[in-house]
Chains A and B, each alone.
Chain A
Amino acid sequence: MICNDFQSHLEDCVERKRPPQLDPFADHLAECPLCHERLADHSLLETALLHLDEGDESPDFVERVVREVLAGTRADRLSQAPMRASRGRRFARVAIAVVALGLLAVFAVPGILGLFTAPENPRALEQFTGIKPDPPRDDDGVERDDLRLDRLVAETSVAIGSLWNETGRTLGDLETLVPLGFRERRPSEEPGDDAEPGLAGHLRQELQPLGRQLTNSFGFLTLGR
Chain B
Amino acid sequence: MKRNRSGRLSAVVAAGVLALAACGNDPVASNTGNDQPTSGVTSDLSGELAAGGASSQEAAMQAWIAGFQEAHPDVTVSYDPIGSGGGRTQFLEGAYPFAGSDAVLDEEERQQSVERCGGSPAIHLPVYISPIAIVYNLEGVDDLQLSPSTIAKIFNRQITTWNDPAIAAENPGVDLPDLPISPVSRSDESGTTENFTEYLAAAAPEDWPHEPSGDWPVEGTQGAQGTSGVIQTVRGGQGTIGYADASQAGDLGTVKVKVGDEYVAYSAEAAAKVVDASPRVPGASQHDLAIELDRTTTEPGTYPIVLVSYVITCPSYDDVTEGQLVKEFLGYIASEEGQRRAADAAGSAPLSSEMTEQVQAAIEAIQVGSS
Please say whether chains A and B are actual partners in one complex.
no
Q: Which residues of A contact B (CB under 8 A)?
A: none
